[in-house]
Homo-oligomer: A and B are copies of this chain.
Amino acid sequence: MSNGVNYYKADLRNLDFTLYEHLHVEQLFALPLFSHLSRAECDAMMKESYKFATTVSGPLNGSGDREQCRVEGGRVKTPAGFAAAWKQFYALGIPAFPMPQEWEGLGGPISIYLALEEMITGSNTSFNMYPGLSHGAGALIAELALPEQKQRFVKHLVSGRFSGTMCLSEPHAGSDVGATRTKAKPNGDGTYAITGTKCWISCGDNDFVENTIHLVLARVEGAPAGTKGLSLFIVPRVWVNDDGSLGADNDVQVGSIEHKMGINASATCVLNFGEAGRCKGLVVGGIENHGMAQMFHMMNGARIGVAMQGVALASTAYLNALHYAKERMQGPSVKNFKDANAPRVPILQHSDVRRMLLEMKAKVEGMRALLIKLALHLDLADALSKTDEKKAAYHQGQADLMVSLSKSYCSDQSFRIAELAIQIHGGVGYTRDFPVEQYCRDAKIFSIYEGTNHIQALDLVSRQLQRGNGGNFMAYMKDVGDLVTRLSASAALSAEAKAIGEAQRGLQEAAMQLMQWGMGGKLEQVTSVANWFLETMAELTIATLLLEAAEIAQAKLDAGGLEAAEQDFYAGKVASCRFYVWNVLPMGAARVAMIKHGDRSALELPDAGFARY
């Protein structure tokens, strides 16, 4: 059993490369918004996070999975050690890193915060969800609420005295948020009476904190149908008085928790609001019917968070598989396969194992670069918003284009990579003696929550591609094209650059096909291939990032004079690029062919033709 044992592994050299050698996040420290920070401070925070991940949250990952959450006396009881870990985590100040300084945050960039996040969520997906959701709630209130609302809640969410949640789903309203039935009725004193049942509320309750602040989507009586009539409410579990002291119980009940495949230490709650008619809420920002837009503020962060859950879990799954492959002796080298007395070798020497490991490596590094770059776009958009509107708009546009794509690709691939990690372990990987089967179970939820991966694909093809008259997508394609052009002349990487150029032409053709269908009213055909388009665009994006990284690494190799470990490290960056371009990217061409062929068999088959049972 892995109780109490830390299995979390991080490749800090690689994280460092992505942040500073590849994406040059240090450029932020030169901008006024982040000039109060230095790389040294951020590096110190990275060290703290790594230490917390490997000594506190990591050792609770297996035990939390076995013990699970339970409901006792109408409250959630979390597994042993979680409450203490929460306190320690907030005492270290890690959750305060990205929060504005006015709320006692450090005002740090999201790009670096994501790197900290990677370690916490990678070490314990379930644990990290509690502060993750609290951060989302705190950030939303800090940005969109009325000054007195901010005053009442934000600092307690930053300090960890309170926790926060987001409450969207209802039993009949999952992907279809517009079907929300939870009601709000003005009480006449600025508060609203809230009644309804919410489900799938991650970390909906816990035994760490004095109070939990729920952000609840509800419909004010008489508001329009659909998403346009939704408002967002601040609904504390225990009422918070104007002076910050705690008041009466606010009639929010834990109905039950789900028994799940994974993330067992994260309580997924059914919450009943106002069963006794005593539940009150405050409408965020004092305005009704803006709930969806407000929630999307939090949603984008949440989606990036899920994407990072995927990257982080994939990374530790990869490193655990690599570690096992170095230690496990099995079979002779293929060169001596006929000699029964040939020495046994570590399975890392078998070419199939190497192929799986390099696939995992390339994907992990590519996805990490994708997310850090996305976050850097957000940081730059924020930092430049007052000085260079045009640049800020470019960065915001690129970030918008990448959110749903990242959530979907990283979540799908983390499951795939966890699966490969099990396969490399063989039989022991299927047991609880190693962490990889838990990784696989935990990862499965990533493709479902915060908008299923098809909802993400719909967002990409029906909103993001068109946004700004298609300007974001055109700018993206120009960036890809510029990179291809530049590196097509490279001595070492021209073949890879040209292959990426070929893939870009494929994506362009697929986009044209979608546009034709869209304009021809064949929306059902667009939606039927939206997931494939997303995956193809994600692969192209990752290939360009791996190519950029390889270019930097190749320059280091060409310059020479590296010590052995660095030599191998940079060779690994070039290998990640080559592997991805020659062994992952080609699948995109097949998907483009599939999209263009426009098969309608699934659309045209009568319902009764699927099966008789």
**Which A positions have Cβ atoms within 8 angstroms of B?**
1, 9-14, 169, 172, 174-176, 178-179, 199-200, 224-229, 258-262, 318-319, 322-323, 326, 329-331, 334-335, 337, 340-341, 344, 348, 350-352, 354-355, 357-358, 361, 415, 419, 422-423, 426-427, 429-433, 437, 440-441, 444-445, 447-449, 452-454, 457, 523-525, 527-531, 564-565, 568-569, 571-572, 575, 578-579, 582-583, 586-587, 589-591, 593-594, 597, 599, 601-613
Contact = CB atoms under 8 A, between A and B. Distances in A.
A259 B594 contact: no
A428 B179 CA distance: 18
A293 to B, nearest CB: 15
A605 B431 contact: no
A431 B174 CA distance: 15
A568 B609 contact: yes
Contacts of A593: 586, 589
Contact of A523 (B334, B427, B589, B605): B334
A449 B601 CA distance: 36
Given A568-B606, A605-B575, A174 B226 contact: no
B599 A594 contact: no
* Residue of A172, A260, A575 most packed against chain B (CB within 10 A): A575
B608 A579 contact: no
Given A12-B613, A354-B602, A415-B419, 20 more contacts: A11-B613, A179-B330, A179-B344, A225-B341, A258-B431, A260-B430, A322-B613, A348-B610, A351-B524, A352-B530, A423-B447, A430-B445, A565-B608, A568-B608, A572-B609, A579-B602, A583-B594, A583-B599, A589-B593, A590-B590
Nearest to A10: B613
B523 A260 contact: no
A606 B568 CA distance: 7
A224 B340 contact: yes
Given A259-B431, A431-B260, A582-B601, A11 B352 contact: no
B528 A355 contact: yes
Nearest to A608: B568
Contact of A260 (B226, B260, B432, B610): B432
B259 A361 contact: no
Contact of A323 (B337, B341, B599, B613): B613
Contacts of A179: 330, 344
A295 B172 CA distance: 54
18 contacts: A179-B344, A258-B430, A259-B431, A261-B431, A318-B611, A334-B523, A337-B523, A351-B602, A352-B457, A355-B529, A358-B601, A422-B444, A427-B449, A578-B601, A583-B599, A586-B597, A589-B593, A590-B590
Contacts of A589: 590, 593
Residue picked from A593, A599, A604, most chain B C-beta under 10 Å: A599
Contact of A590 (B172, B453, B587): B587
Nearest to A229: B340
Contact of A261 (B178, B226, B430, B530): B430
Nearest to A225: B340
Contacts of A227: 340
A607 B348 contact: yes
A307 to B, nearest CB: 17
Given A340-B225, A601-B578, A352 B441 contact: no
In order of increasing CB-CB distance, the 5 nearest A-B pairs are A226-B340, A572-B609, A351-B528, A582-B599, A261-B437
